[in-house]
Every structure is written in C-alpha cells, then in structure tokens.
Amino acid sequence: MKRLDEMLEAGINGTFAEGSYDETELSRLESRWKQYLTISEKSLGQAKRERENMKKLVSDISHQTKTSLSNILLYAELMEDQAESESGERLAKQIVSQAKKLEFLIQALVKMSRLETDVLEVVPKQRPIRLLVEQAVESIMPKAADKEMTITCSLPENAQAVYDLKWTSEALGNILDNAVKYSPVGSKITVEGKEFEIYTCIMVIDQGIGICESEKAQIFGRFYRSARVQQEEGIGIGLYLAREILQKENGYIKVHSREGAGSSFGLYLPKG
C-alpha cells in the first residue's frame, strides 16, 4: 500500500519511474502504471495540438470571411444606391439582406467555436451592473423601437457583480434580442436587478409567446429552435452562447415561463 501511494503521488507530480523489474505482482502493476501514464501524456499532447490547430482554423476563417463579406455588403449597397429601375433596387436590397444574414451566421459560429475551444478569454472583474444593463439595452433599442416596444429598467443602487463587460453584455443582449423578437408589437420588457447573498441577478421579463414546459430543457441547446418560431430570423445559438459565457464566469441562467404568458430569464452573476 505504501508503494502504491508513492506511485500515485509520483504519477500526479510527473516524476514516476519504474523500479527494477521482477516477477512480482507489484512490479507488474508498476509496469502497467507506467504504460498508462505514457498513453495519457501522448493523449494530452495530441489534444493540445488539436486545440492549437482549431484556434488557427477559427482565426483564419474569421479573417478570410470578414474581408469578403465587407466587400459584398459595400458593393451591394453601392448597387442599391445606383439602381435605375425598381426591380434593380429590389434585387440589390435582397443581396444586402442575404449578405447581412451570412455575416451574422459566420460571426455567431466563430463566437461559438471560440467559446468551445477556449480561444475566447473571459476576464471577470467586479463592476456595477448598471454599466452592463445600460450597454445591452442601448444595443437593442433600435429593434425595440421598430416594434414600438418599451424597455424599463429597475436596478438597486450600487449593485455590483463580477463579470466580463464585453461578453456578459453579449449574453444579456441575446436574452433581450429574444425578448424583442418573440414579443408582440407595442409590448413591454422589464429589466430588474436583485441582490442575493452570493449572486446578483439581472431579470429580463417580457410579454411574449412564452415557452412550453416540454421545451424548457432544450432551449439552451446548440442550434435548438422551437417549431413555433421557425419563420423568425435566427439559428438557435443565442441562449447557448449566453449560458456558456455565464458558466465561464461561475454564474448561471434560470428561466420561468408559461406558453402564451411571457418569459422571465434570470442571469445570476457572482457578487465577489
């Protein structure tokens, strides 16, 4: 038992070496333990190489597609401005629309790949939540205005949490985007802040279509979209990204909803 303990300790520290080989059971176990450590080391090395290759691939895709899409959008917008006929203008608008959809899709897939391969670095710091809420709400206001919707905020004074401003704003923005997308014209969205002992919670409450009970366990899955919203724009990774970002910050998301009665999403961020 003493030798087994020494073998495990040396394996953990990366210093294990076999003793002289003989025909005892302990010697055979040492040999097997060495074989296991060697295979594990090779597997770890292979995983690291694959991760580096994935980082390079994601970076290359992001760089190569960004320039091409920017050019397509630029030329399509120029075509739209210079279209002489009504049909020509309509076709130019279709090119712009489809190019923007493609741009959104590629950006979303790149973000997802960066999260899953740990290329994306989340750096949480203690900040007021008001800063986060204001930034996310400001980004969604044009879409809300198009549907004549109002967004009201109620936050505790001096409430703080530990979060990465850029990526948590992306997570909250995805929740707000869904609230606008799946709520009727002229409805209201409420953003509330609540402080608990360990977490600060940001609640997003809408008056939308709600979520049926059978789908609540699926909505945070990659590419999941309800059959009821197939005609709406989107690819089904907004909630997935939001959950992944919060998990990297030691936070989490909860949802309360009933079909036809709106939804309430709670983003729980550590207080310290």
Please list the residues that pair with 267 across neighbouring strands: 202, 253
Averaged pLDDT, 193-212: 91
**Coil/strand/helix, residue 207:** coil
Q: Does position 237 have pLDDT exceeding 80, yes or no?
A: no
Q: 209 phi and psi, to 5 degrees?
A: -75, -15
Instruction: Give the per-residue pLDDT at 78.
Output: 75
Least confident of 56-60, 73-77, 181-185: 56-60
Higher pLDDT, 189 or 85: 189
Instruction: Give the per-residue pLDDT at 162.
Output: 94
Task: Kindly report whether the global pTM for this prediction surpasses the value 0.85.
Answer: no
Q: Does position 117 have pLDDT exceeding 70, yes or no?
A: no
**Coil/strand/helix, residue 158:** coil
Q: How many CB atoms lie within 10 A of CB 121?
A: 9
The per-residue pLDDT of the chain, averaged, comes to 80
Q: 270 phi and psi, to 5 degrees?
A: -60, 145
Least confident of 40-44, 83-87, 204-208: 83-87
Instruction: Give the per-residue pLDDT at 68.
Output: 67
pLDDT in tens, 137-178: 999 999 999 999 999 999 998 899 999 998 899 899 999 998
**Coil/strand/helix, residue 200:** strand
Express as a percent the part of the chain with pLDDT over 90.
31
Averaged pLDDT, 88-97: 73
**Coil/strand/helix, residue 24:** coil
Instruction: Give the per-residue pLDDT at 6.
Output: 77
